[in-house]
Structure 1
């Protein structure tokens, strides 16, 4: 489950302190947009590195660790209130070694200290403010602290004095906190093992989650409200397993309300990170790459089921936003991957770039304004903070094609006007794991919506990662960013489990979409690197590699955070590789991975959606083997038949002949019928009779869904 960020309903603007270079602030040497936002603070910031940690040990000062990211609104608020204040900065500099971390560059460190905060009984989120011993061990923490006491939170100056004094004058209590937290984190790094996760367990979990659905507005009940794509996927799988229409309704309702609500950018495309209210009206305006990747993938599956025009249009708008606003700088070969995020704030005010006054809409649209305002809920009073968030949340679908064409023309005009505003900050660093999510989603959506241009974009981004984000030893790195003084870009930070897992899944999605064996080889290399540097002999993959030396503990979990679980993704990847290659080692590792975390469902299943979805996939996987040439009409018609009904457990292979299949594969040695493209549907070591008619393939797949249930 994504971590909730402290975010009251009202907008917050704080005056920005005029920038005065601080020669003792070392963030000027970094490339992270988030760290560079703080390079002129009077705080003597350091990045997380050996020199900063050595400084803390040498001076015997505790570490004040501040973790955030470039698009984080409340990170900006705390910066303006406290980190730009000379008095607060003086306290910080006198009493602490101050270290700033971009949580997107170092998710491993963020994960460790978020876990520590949770063990202290506090709600996690960003900005994360942790107090550490000089050995980087946590002893207390929180999230956002106001400069002066309010919101029921102590003032930051008082916190600084109290935590500094505690370190120097209450060593026994600090040591007790450190020891207790360290022991608790060690216990959490040992997951509860179990046996296979049966369909009955999956159904019981789905039924419980269904009870948490808001059947008025969609999504998990309450506020704030996150998209929660893995949970919606879990409910979708329950519908396909047992045919219970309540699950289908929950998913379609949630998707429709999100895509019509204010959380969706109706002018520029793309979904914000979450809504602060229960009706999806008021977004936390930052846009993250990973949320839109997960939504795009789910949209493709839901469209196959319902054929809803809304889904197809929103998918195209999301990809339009991606290619218009989210392409990072090219590498030397001209390949381009995707940037990380767009800020919630512009001109120091949350959402200012996105909201509208009625008078401005009237001026831009003229005679079309009345119709547009009626559809998007625009009024003179506004629907939020005396202004308007564009929303169609009261509509269940699109209007007539004629009316939608009128609205599209109006949106084009408003988007052009909006483009003249001061834009939110853009975090243009490339993250391997988030790009993996988007590449896989694009490959899937390209097949579903027959968009070869989307597939080319996905391939281009994958080529960027493979050729640009490896060090001289061939090891994958986590982040890359180009700057004016380093146009060739700078690699940073060790790759994590999620980087390898998401890119392996992306490679397999590209392999399925193209049939190109290079992608299968790339997936195998990524998994080999994981096995060499991340696998725990006790079972499961650690989040960090065995040669990542600056973490106090190697965490291991199957729980989703803001992004899907790496161990959950790997259960899917290993299953696919076993079916595609016949290598029994992949099956053995998948079985061990499943057992390692299976007992976690008895502790807390809510964050395990990605892992549970992979367990369902592994139990019900179906191989569709099409023998023929991918570019021939007969083969294309059979591939199109895969869209005749919803499918989530297919592995599709298009082969010139079946000789390339592994010997164990039930379709090995099968042949085409009468020289026509021929399909075989295989499950549990048994294949159907050969079919050449698309209608017959669709019938077989529908029958397979019923038998799997």
Structure 2
């Protein structure tokens, strides 16, 4: 499928910047982008709208495009019946969220490609996902469906309006909420119990196939372990993180994680790689490393960062969105191997050890998802710990590891010659912000090198996606556009908080506060609390979404609540915590009915209801004792901690302005001094790290 439009584009998409829309610019379908022009044309011609929503790295979007949208017969029917609109869900998540809700409401399922047929007033009366060209397994194909829709449109408007009325009524009901108090912390325990009931003790993760990483579940479980000493919670985290790293969902050759596993064993992935998955998983592995001290988790953090830096980082510091699952028209072709091909790449000894370690077999090591038949191909994955290999091959551990790494590099270099999957090179503020937050955390706890990557990406956003106080959602080919959504604002606030906690540069804290205040002005629901996904000045759709539910990434409302609590603890500004409580309270009924589906909101609830911990360190950053105090706050898993540094006189003045309570905490006896406050109870200042550890309740590092 072409990734850009030719000069003889057959529709209006050639002038768009979205890689997904450009993939369809040569279709015989007369596509419009979402625009007033399209809706005016539909009204003028009295035609329904065929809305197709997808994204450039979506496998089934490619299938439907090749099968139907590139087909002259289907295109002719579509062009004669509809005004056809293409939407990139990653560019316009507002449109996607509204109509995905419609699809789930009307059909009980969702996914991409998303197919909606609606009136020129954007009112849907048909919803589906992938639709084949011809009838298949009881499902109507486009060739038979389109004439039926045309007949319905021309002869039965009463039926259409009845469906529209039901949809709009249900949407209105589902997007309404009632203001109420935030639930108490017992709900966090219920959420953990819900996750435990779905936990797979054999292979980790939650639920059956398909199995998703859902790292925000792990962030909640780690906090439950820290607060309650819940060993089962830690076990669920560790088992899940270890099994994912060993499975085929992890790219053992090029590193980084694929989207999800089609089976329950993490073996056969859906092969696309998304920036947001790398970011959220990096956070989970960082926190697991800090909680346990196990280098295994730090190594996974390094592996994710290596992949992101190599494949997804733009030349000017921002991060691209994703790599496709497909290459040369086949899903996963870039990533799988025949036994014979690997034999031709590796020396005999390398092949023996590599094949044993990564389960490479002549007959292949996985079956086709659709047919269940052996493929003759292999997905490198681990089923035993590599430390068991030395005995089998009469080699030392170091020899085995060196041999495997040499073999991996050879296989990687051979893979680089292959046709690479399509790269979606748009830069999205929300996904970049998640990556910045993750890298800032990695810089704080794993290696300073990741801080520089986070800073560069934040500089890119500041330069290209922030203009005249307004935040934009998308940048591509030197052009920024699309007004920022809730996720852009709150994820960027999260990133700024993490950068402040890592660097102590007060510019990040100042911008986090400004952006949080701006988010309240633009997105806050004055009636019942919580944040809308679109701002007050956004295009009006049939529904204004306000949702606490976590999907592949956490909901904007849950991250907003989390940010507000942390900013309240950093600045002492209680209004921020009030907004957090009202946000959580606005969704109390949804949270109580399904706490395990709102893990990140449970993280916010746990953070707000748990023991507060503020540490103000008064000391110049270049003093050894100051550095030791900073390091002490990073030696243990303290998820509730906020740390403020008062270094130079200029920095101290800025801190005192942003966090007025900190003006009372200065150097004592002209020595670097730590002031520790636990649960609103401030301890006597201390000068040495041993006493700091006692106050923080942490043991000496092993």
**TM bucket by the smaller chain?**
over 0.9
Tell me which residue corresponds to 1:373.
355
Tell me which residue corresponds to 1:560.
550
Cα separation, 2, equivalents of 1:251 and 1:575 = 24
Quote the offset at 1:378 in angstroms: 0.4
1:163 aligns with 2:131: no
- Which one of 493, 496, 499 corresponds to residue 510 of structure 1? 499
- Which one of 309, 320, 324 corresponds to residue 295 of structure 2? 309
Asked whether the equivalents of residues 2 and 23 of structure 2 are also in contact (C-alpha less than 8 Å), the reply is no
Tell me which residue corresponds to 2:635.
644
- Which one of 563, 587, 593 corresponds to residue 583 of structure 2? 593
1:343 aligns with 2:324: yes
Tell me which residue corresponds to 2:379.
389
Q: How many residues align?
A: 677
Tell me which residue corresponds to 2:664.
669
Cα separation, 2, equivalents of 1:304 and 1:500 = 28
The 5-angstrom pairing of residues 456-495 of structure 1 reads 456-471=452-467, 473-482=468-477, 489-495=478-484
Residues 683, 661 of structure 1: alpha-carbon distance in 2 compared, 3 angstrom cutoff: farther
Quote the offset at 1:580 in angstroms: 2.3
Structure 1 unaligned spans of 5+: 1-14, 331-335, 483-488, 705-709
1:230 aligns with 2:219: no
Cα separation, 1, equivalents of 2:691 and 2:619 = 17
Quote the offset at 1:344 in angstroms: 0.2
Residues 415, 703 of structure 1: alpha-carbon distance in 2 compared, 3 angstrom cutoff: closer
Asked whether the equivalents of residues 572 and 661 of structure 2 are also in contact (C-alpha less than 8 Å), the reply is no
SS of residue paired to 1:292: helix
Cα separation, 2, equivalents of 1:56 and 1:522 = 44
TM-score (norm 2): 0.92
SS of residue paired to 1:168: helix
Cα separation, 1, equivalents of 2:422 and 2:273 = 11
Cα separation, 2, equivalents of 1:677 and 1:405 = 45
Instruction: Give per-residue Cα distances to partners, 1:528-579, cap 9 Å, x unaligned.
Output: 3212221111111110011112422211111122221111111111122222
The 5-angstrom pairing of residues 624-703 of structure 1 reads 624-656=615-647, 660-661=655-656, 668-702=663-697
Instruction: Give per-residue Cα distances to partners, 1:339-398, cap 9 Å, x unaligned.
Output: 000000000000000111111211211131110110001010111222000101443889
Cα separation, 2, equivalents of 1:85 and 1:17 = 18
Asked whether the equivalents of residues 185 and 605 of structure 2 are also in contact (C-alpha less than 8 Å), the reply is no
- Which one of 529, 543, 547 corresponds to residue 533 of structure 2? 543
Quote the offset at 1:329 in angstroms: 4.7
Tell me which residue corresponds to 2:522.
533
Tell me which residue corresponds to 1:612.
602
* RMSD of Structure 2 on Structure 1 (CA): 2.2
Quote the offset at 1:22 in angstroms: 6.3
Asked whether the equivalents of residues 4 and 19 of structure 2 are also in contact (C-alpha less than 8 Å), the reply is no
Runs of 4+ in 1 over 6 A off after TM superposition: 15-22, 396-399, 662-666
Cα separation, 2, equivalents of 1:114 and 1:22 = 33
Tell me which residue corresponds to 2:488.
499
Cα separation, 2, equivalents of 1:382 and 1:652 = 52
Cα separation, 1, equivalents of 2:205 and 2:79 = 44
Tell me which residue corresponds to 2:564.
574
Residues 18, 599 of structure 1: alpha-carbon distance in 2 compared, 3 angstrom cutoff: closer
1:453 aligns with 2:444: no
Quote the offset at 1:242 in angstroms: 1.0
Asked whether the equivalents of residues 27 and 45 of structure 1 are also in contact (C-alpha less than 8 Å), the reply is yes
Tell me which residue corresponds to 1:707.
none
Cα separation, 2, equivalents of 1:609 and 1:44 = 42
Tell me which residue corresponds to 2:371.
none
Cα separation, 2, equivalents of 1:682 and 1:666 = 11
Cα separation, 1, equivalents of 2:124 and 2:644 = 50
Asked whether the equivalents of residues 644 and 698 of structure 1 are also in contact (C-alpha less than 8 Å), the reply is no
Asked whether the equivalents of residues 62 and 96 of structure 1 are also in contact (C-alpha less than 8 Å), the reply is yes
SS of residue paired to 1:476: strand
Greater alpha carbon shift after TM alignment, 306-315 vs 296-305: 306-315
SS of residue paired to 1:423: coil
Cα separation, 1, equivalents of 2:364 and 2:178 = 51
Residues 646, 583 of structure 1: alpha-carbon distance in 2 compared, 3 angstrom cutoff: closer
Residues 151, 397 of structure 1: alpha-carbon distance in 2 compared, 3 angstrom cutoff: farther
Asked whether the equivalents of residues 193 and 600 of structure 1 are also in contact (C-alpha less than 8 Å), the reply is no
Quote the offset at 1:167 in angstroms: 2.3
SS of residue paired to 1:211: helix
Cα separation, 1, equivalents of 2:523 and 2:230 = 40
1:429 aligns with 2:426: yes
SS of residue paired to 1:235: helix
Structure 2 unaligned spans of 5+: 367-374, 390-396
Quote the offset at 1:16 in angstroms: 9.5
Cα separation, 1, equivalents of 2:406 and 2:289 = 25
Quote the offset at 1:19 in angstroms: 9.5
Cα separation, 1, equivalents of 2:149 and 2:315 = 43
Quote the offset at 1:664 in angstroms: 8.3
Residues 397, 535 of structure 1: alpha-carbon distance in 2 compared, 3 angstrom cutoff: farther
Asked whether the equivalents of residues 19 and 41 of structure 1 are also in contact (C-alpha less than 8 Å), the reply is no
Quote the offset at 1:36 in angstroms: 0.7
